[in-house]
Amino acid sequence: MERTYIMVKPDGVRRGLTGEIISRIERKGFKIVAMKKMLISQQTAETHYGEHKGKPFFEGLVRFITSGPVVAMVVEGPQAVSEMRRLMGATRPWEAAPGTIRADYATTVDENVIHGSDSPESAAREIGIFFKPEEIIG
Ligand code: DAT
Ligand code: MG
């Protein structure tokens, strides 16, 4: 069993896509072992997206992810990291495979509806940023 950090981004929450995304995760057969709606602080956003610091889109990305509530989750299942990346689709929605979340619900790279960890190591790091161990109920 593997765990990954999944987050409905502010555009997804604003557009009322949270239920649809949760539904896809559950229908797949994955288990949501933690979930909360929250506002991300500037500091937390910069830590979460630390790998992108210095890139031209970094400031805009931090501004966007702090622009409204997100729904943060820990999702568990076999190959959860890579499988959730597959369900999400490519970062650039126009490159995302048909039927993926980003292909179905997003048009731009800067508002692409969902975040998912890109490796088991990133998942462990990101879960640790957003959840206390006792908030994860397996
Ligand atoms: P992903 O979210 O698929 O893991 P990433 O880690 O490369 O993609 O980038 C994180 C987020 O940053 C991405 O979801 C949207 C934003 N982003 C990436 N590249 C961008 C770009 N060229 N212009 C604007 N935003 C970008
Ligand atoms: Mg990433």
Phi-psi domain of 32 (left: phi exceeds 0; alpha: psi -120 through 50; beta: other): beta
Give the distance (Å) from ligand 2 centre to CA of residue 44: 15
By most ligand atoms within 8 Å of CB, the mutation choice from 67, 95, 109, 119 for ligand 1 is 109
- pLDDT tens over the chain, length 138 residues: 999 999 999 999 999 999 999 999 999 999 999 999 999 999 999 999 999 999 999 999 999 999 999 999 999 999 999 999 999 999 999 999 999 999 999 999 999 999 999 999 999 999 999 999 999 998
* Pocket flag, ligand 1, residue 90 (CB < 6 Å): no
Residues 6+ apart with CB under 8 A from 31: 75, 76, 77, 138
* Pocket flag, ligand 1, residue 115 (CB < 6 Å): yes
Residue 64 has a pLDDT of: 98
Place of tokens 């500037």: 42
CA distance 61 to 111: 9
Rg (CA), the chain: 14
* Ligand 1 atom 24: residue of nearest CA: 110
Residue 117 has a pLDDT of: 98
Phi then psi for residue 127, to 5 deg, are: -60, -40
Residue 95 has a pLDDT of: 98
Phi then psi for residue 81, to 5 deg, are: -65, -55
131 is in an annotated binding site: no
Helix axes 80-88, 18-28, angle to 10 degrees: 130
Residue 39 has a pLDDT of: 98
Give the distance (Å) from ligand 2 centre to CA of residue 135: 23
| Model pTM score | 0.98
102 is in an annotated binding site: yes
Are 23 and 90 within 8 A, CB to CB? no
Residues 6+ apart with CB under 8 A from 38: 69, 70, 71, 72, 130
Q: Where are the domains of the chain?
A: 2-40+69-135
Are 35 and 73 within 8 A, CB to CB? yes
User: For domain 2-40+69-135, is the CATH number 3.60.15.10?
Assistant: no
